[in-house]
Amino acid sequence: MNQIDIFSAGAKRLQMTDSIDLTIQSLLAYCGAHDHWGIAWSGGKDSSATLTLIIWLLDTGKIPRPKSLTVFYADTRQELPPLAIAARHIMDELEERGIAVEVVTAPMDKRFMVYILGRGVPPPNNNTLRWCTRQIKIDPMEEALRVRLEQLDGQVLMITGVRQGESAIRDRRIEMSCSKDGAECGQGWYQQVLPNAKGLRGRLATLAPLLHWRVCHVWEWLRHWAPSAEFGDWSTAIIADAYGGDEAEEVNARTGCIGCPLASEDKALDTILLNPAWAYLAPLKGLKLLWRELREPQHRLRKAGIEILKDGSTAKNPQRMGPITFDGRMMGLERVLGIQDACNAVARAIGRPEIDLINIEEEARIRELIALETWPQGWDGDEPIATTIMDTVYANGAVQPRLFSESDV
């Protein structure tokens, strides 16, 4: 393909076989220059399609094998149950093929449930505190890559499932970058460094060989092609079916976390619950309500008076709300465990897979952190409950009555 960009290919409504052929061309164009490959796999639709397609291409000799191949599975502990269950099956199938799978999970104290219910950090929000993606997914993956790079000589090619149309914001970045580092348009999105990855420059290149795939091709591959013996006998149909299969909307497949506090609606979970096989997961709808409740002032502390920052300046929001109280954390823990128990009781009765929103080790650590009276940095627990109404006293002696604002939440 010439300098006509890959978006023109999409406009021509590529057929499934055309999309696969373009992916092969992309891999042949760049993979030969790298002895070691990694595949970034989240368990979602695009990365699962990328993973299973590449392994099939390797098994059938359509692309040459690298000296080493490592699959990095980003286990956030927050994935929707059908995706987590499918991932476990696919990992078994990879291990049967002798493919190394590294499960990448955040350190215990930084996991989503432990961070909120153990350390007392409020659930993330889109305004002031969006900490989750980097902490439970990006940082652990970058650390795993650093460790792997230390074990290898030369540059590693990291293959991702980034695809045109996955996000309007991301697409604009792709459009600006599709010809970066000498990449021919139409050969996938190739970059010689993982964007924003500290300490990985010069050692890691990335390639998105499914960039040009239409979403209907992703569903077609996951639901019909990959599960067939001819294309690898993969356990991917569950991923497509969980989102409505051929009728799935792209927006339904983006929210991969259970009860995501950042999403306005639980569209993915709602779609899953329409499937009778997954209807027993209905109690999961309570998670989003819980995260919203834990951001309310009756469950949180508030800074009292003037807050002096490390540089000696006065905080702009001197009575800002902060961490969750111990009572709030215990309420949240019992609520999550209750949701988990409700789902699993039905699962056992009807022979469906059980879930573990909080496993034994995580529950123990949450209770331990509470027993140790743990607070986030900058808080000591002596601060008043956030519902306390106080006047603001500034350094110059001025007094301003405190007015509660929705932005505090």
pLDDT tens digits, one per residue of 134-190: 999 989 999 999 999 889 887 889 999 988 754 433 444 444 333 343 333 333 444
Question: Among the ranges 157-161, 275-279, 337-341, which has the highest mean pLDDT value?
Answer: 337-341
User: Greater confidence, 69 or 189?
Assistant: 69
pLDDT given for residue 215 in this prediction: 86
pLDDT given for residue 162 in this prediction: 86
pLDDT given for residue 245 in this prediction: 60
DSSP string, 17-86: HHHHHHHHHHHHHHGGG-SEEEEEE-SSHHHHHHHHHHHHHHHTTSSPPPSEEEEEEE--S-B-HHHHHH
pLDDT at 94 over 60: yes
**Could you give the CA distance from residue 72 to residue 145 in angstroms, rounded to a whole number?**
9
Q: Which two tokens stand for residue 403?
A: 């007015």
Q: What is the pTM of this model?
A: 0.82
**Could you give the CA distance from residue 391 to residue 382 in angstroms, rounded to a whole number?**
18
Which pLDDT band, with edges at 50, 70 and 90, does 200 fall under? low
Segment 9-25 shows an average pLDDT of: 79
pLDDT at 59 over 50: yes
Which pLDDT band, with edges at 50, 70 and 90, does 216 fall under? confident
- 290 sits in which H/E element: helix 285-294
The residue behind tokens 């709030």 is 328
Burial 292-318 (b: 16+ CB within 10 A, else e): ebbbeeebbbbbeeebeeeeeeeeeeb
pLDDT given for residue 404 in this prediction: 46
- Quick one: CA dihedral 185, 190, 191, 192, positive or negative? negative
User: Greater confidence, 252 or 88?
Assistant: 88
pLDDT at 399 over 80: no
**Could you give the CA distance from residue 215 to residue 163 in angstroms, rounded to a whole number?**
9
Q: Supply the mean pLDDT for the chain.
A: 83
- Pairing relationship of beta strands 392-393 and 399-400 according to DSSP bridges: antiparallel
Alpha carbon 103 to chain centroid, angstroms: 13
**Could you give the CA distance from residue 134 to residue 162 in angstroms, rounded to a whole number?**
17
Residue 108 burial by Cβ neighbours in a 10 Å radius (0-12, 13-18, 19+): middle
Alpha carbon 2 to chain centroid, angstroms: 35
Residue 209 burial by Cβ neighbours in a 10 Å radius (0-12, 13-18, 19+): buried
Which pLDDT band, with edges at 50, 70 and 90, does 196 fall under? low
pLDDT at 30 over 80: yes
